[in-house]
């Protein structure tokens, strides 16, 4: 028995020695056995300076049949220490003798905190991460665009104020425009709102965007959620824009408001000499609730794209409203739709909310209402002061005193491809909306669309002027 135990022990020892010898012999000494990489340039995209970035990564592969030993991994030119590394689960600045087993891989994670550039324009920052294997060097370029921002927290505007477009603004907590004060946004201003931040207008907001330099209000996540899905497509990044009952004469042109929780909300301003909110060639999109909601307030929207909202695009209770050459399109990505694209309340005796206020008056002209879900909360508008003139609708229907010269049951043929995250509401070559608007109903403010294109004598329905394409899907 003891002899058997001894033999088993010797065999076990020889097996361990043999395996050790095989593993040691398995390390490649061939200089041709080099690592490969999932990318030769890790583009971290735009980054706000003086703030830590999300983690970016790439993969290092061993495509060979033996272990490769990377003798050195380090950043060649990061003396200022703005970039941070983690290689195969280990953090550090320099790594030696990193082994990758045959047909296996490791991850390299990169973070950065870029120093301020002291300039308005973004500055490209590049570093070179060198991998030395068998005396040969492979390099992955790490690239980022550092953007200085003006950071504001709890910004209160109590006197007339103008924000210029020199640098973007990153907003924490809130912007509040107090009653009697006017905040003017110059062409090209960008407001990046942090999570849960809000903008409340108790006074007046004037946004002077142009075709070349639109004003943008959006979330401050400018990286990707996963892979190639950018936060730009994600609703709920900041709370939204609210106009309170004391607000007056708000006027926004070429302004994009997107990625909110509850969109643009106009609350109980009542009828004034001018609409409570005028929107010219604006874009309201990507909201977890409505893109636009109005309670007993007057809205004028001309040449606007109103899109992507979980609860429905527009909610209107009472008030007087004009929507001219607008595109209403709901292809919201992240949940089932909560209701029709356009929802009405307090429009007649059946929907009377006992407020004692006048019923809604609304005029939709030369517009398109098309997307997933239904268009209107009330299909029968008989006896109401709501009219749709020269509009394209998804549903089959017929014209009457409220629906005048409408196109029913036709696809406007957008360039949008929802499952590829393309949301482009311009018109393809065969769209029935081309030339189908009525010139006499094209308001003066609608003479040019968001792209600066003239509508001409035979205008198209919707927010965008049709541009002939040489080929479909080009």
Work out how many domains the chain is built from and give that number.
2
- Are 226 and 354 found together in one domain? yes
- Are 270 and 294 found together in one domain? yes
- Are 43 and 142 found together in one domain? yes
- How confident is the model at residue 233, as a pLDDT? 85
CA distance 102 to 26: 9
Can you say whether the dihedral through the CA atoms of 388, 390, 391, 395 is positive or negative? positive
Write out the two tokens for 109.
């994670």
* Cα 132 versus chain centre, distance: 40
CA distance 107 to 188: 39
Are 289 and 295 spatial neighbours (Cβ–Cβ below 8 Å)?
Answer: no
- Are 183 and 133 found together in one domain? no
Are 294 and 244 spatial neighbours (Cβ–Cβ below 8 Å)?
Answer: no
CA distance 461 to 303: 10
DSSP letter (8 states) at residue 429: T
Q: Give the residue from 114, 74, 77, 81 showing the smallest Cα distance to 95.
A: 74
Q: Give the residue from 163, 261, 138 showing the smallest Cα distance to 215.
A: 163
- Are 220 and 351 found together in one domain? yes
- Output the CA–CA distances (angstroms, integers) from residue 139 to 74, 94, 104, 194, in the order listed: 10, 14, 19, 35
- How confident is the model at residue 270, as a pLDDT? 86
- How confident is the model at residue 15, as a pLDDT? 47
Does 4 reside within a domain? no
Q: Give the residue from 197, 192, 262 showing the smallest Cα distance to 232.
A: 192
> Which CATH number does the domain housing residue 43 bear?
2.60.40.10
- How confident is the model at residue 148, as a pLDDT? 96
- How confident is the model at residue 464, as a pLDDT? 98
- Are 324 and 180 found together in one domain? yes
- Output the CA–CA distances (angstroms, integers) from residue 450 to 8, 207, 445, 466, in the order listed: 83, 14, 11, 12
- How confident is the model at residue 18, as a pLDDT? 47
- How confident is the model at residue 291, as a pLDDT? 98
Residue 96, domain extent: 36-146
- How confident is the model at residue 227, as a pLDDT? 67
What is the maximum alpha-carbon separation in the chain? Answer: 108
Site of tokens 């509401």: 425
- How confident is the model at residue 232, as a pLDDT? 84
Question: Residue ranges of the chain with pLDDT lower than 50?
Answer: 1-11, 13-24, 471-474
- Are 127 and 216 found together in one domain? no
Of 107, 128, 146, which residue is a domain's last? 146
Does 256 reside within a domain? yes
Does 470 reside within a domain? no
CB contact set of 29 (below 8 Å; sequence gap of 6+): 134
Does 455 reside within a domain? no
Does 1 reside within a domain? no
- Are 229 and 265 found together in one domain? yes
Q: Give the residue from 140, 148, 153, 250 showing the smallest Cα distance to 190.
A: 148
- Are 140 and 245 found together in one domain? no
CA atoms within a 13 Å half-sphere pointing along the CA-CB vector of 318: 16
Of 119, 146, 173, which residue is a domain's last? 146
CA distance 449 to 281: 6
- Are 183 and 216 found together in one domain? yes
- Are 190 and 87 found together in one domain? no
Does 272 reside within a domain? yes
CA distance 291 to 241: 10
Q: Is 184 helix (H, G, I), strand (E, B) or coil?
A: strand
Are 323 and 313 spatial neighbours (Cβ–Cβ below 8 Å)?
Answer: no
Are 27 and 102 spatial neighbours (Cβ–Cβ below 8 Å)?
Answer: no
- Are 302 and 368 found together in one domain? yes
Does 454 reside within a domain? no
Chain segment 56-74, per-residue pLDDT in tens: 999 999 999 999 999 999 9
- How confident is the model at residue 155, as a pLDDT? 97
Q: Using alpha carbons only, what angle is made at residue 277 by residues 291 and 365, rounded to the nearest 5 degrees?
A: 75
Write out the two tokens for 204.
């007046």
CA distance 165 to 162: 10
- How confident is the model at residue 330, as a pLDDT? 97
CA atoms within a 13 Å half-sphere pointing along the CA-CB vector of 30: 11
Q: Is 337 helix (H, G, I), strand (E, B) or coil?
A: coil
CA distance 410 to 430: 11
């Amino acid at each position: 028995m003891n002899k058997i135990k001894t033999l088993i022990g010797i065999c076990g020892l020889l097996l361990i020695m043999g395996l050790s010898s095989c593993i040691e012999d398995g390390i490649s000494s061939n200089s041709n056995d080099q690592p490969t990489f999932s990318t030769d340039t890790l583009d971290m995209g735009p980054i706000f300076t003086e703030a830590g970035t999300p983690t970016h990564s790439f993969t290092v592969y061993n495509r060979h049949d033996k272990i490769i030993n990377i003798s050195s991994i380090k950043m060649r030119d990061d003396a200022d220490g703005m970039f941070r590394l983690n290689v195969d689960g280990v953090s550090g600045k320099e790594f030696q003798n990193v082994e990758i087993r045959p047909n296996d891989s490791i991850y390299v994670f990169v973070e950065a905190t870029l120093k301020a550039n002291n300039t308005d324009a973004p500055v490209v920052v590049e570093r070179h991460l060198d991998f030395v294997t068998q005396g040969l060097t492979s390099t992955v370029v790490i690239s980022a665009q550092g953007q200085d921002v003006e950071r504001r927290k709890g910004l209160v505007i109590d006197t007339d104020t103008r924000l210029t477009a020199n640098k973007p603004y990153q907003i924490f907590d809130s912007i509040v425009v107090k009653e009697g004060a006017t905040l003017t946004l110059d062409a090209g201003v960008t407001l990046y709102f942090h999570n849960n931040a809000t903008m409340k207008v108790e006074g007046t907001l004037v946004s002077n965007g142009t075709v070349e330099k639109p004003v943008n209000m959006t979330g401050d996540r400018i990286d990707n959620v996963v892979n190639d899905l950018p936060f730009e497509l994600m609703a709920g990044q900041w709370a939204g824009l609210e106009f309170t009952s004391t607000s007056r004469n708000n006027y926004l042109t070429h302004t994009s408001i997107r990625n909110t929780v509850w969109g643009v909300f106009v609350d109980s301003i009542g009828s004034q000499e001018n609409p409570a909110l005028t929107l010219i060639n604006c874009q309201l999109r990507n909201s977890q609730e409505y893109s636009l909601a109005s309670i007993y307030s007057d809205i004028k929207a001309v040449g606007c794209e109103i899109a992507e909202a979980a609860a429905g695009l527009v909610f209107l209770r009472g008030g007087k409203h004009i929507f001219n050459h607008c595109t209403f399109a709901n292809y919201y990505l992240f949940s089932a739709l909560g209701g029709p694209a356009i929802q009405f309340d307090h429009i007649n005796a059946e929907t009377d909310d006992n407020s004692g206020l006048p019923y809604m008056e609304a005029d939709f002209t030369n517009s398109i209402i098309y997307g997933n879900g239904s268009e209107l909360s009330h299909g029968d508008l008989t006896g109401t002061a709501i009219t749709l003139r020269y509009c394209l609708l998804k549903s089959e229907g017929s014209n009457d005193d409220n629906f005048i010269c409408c196109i029913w049951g036709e696809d406007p043929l957008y360039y949008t491809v929802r499952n590829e995250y393309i949301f482009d509401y311009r018109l393809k070559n065969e769209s029935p909306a081309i030339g189908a608007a009525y010139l006499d109903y094209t308001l003066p403010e609608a003479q040019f669309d968001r792209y600066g294109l003239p509508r001409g004598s035979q205008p198209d329905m919707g927010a965008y002027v049709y541009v002939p394409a040489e080929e479909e899907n080009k």
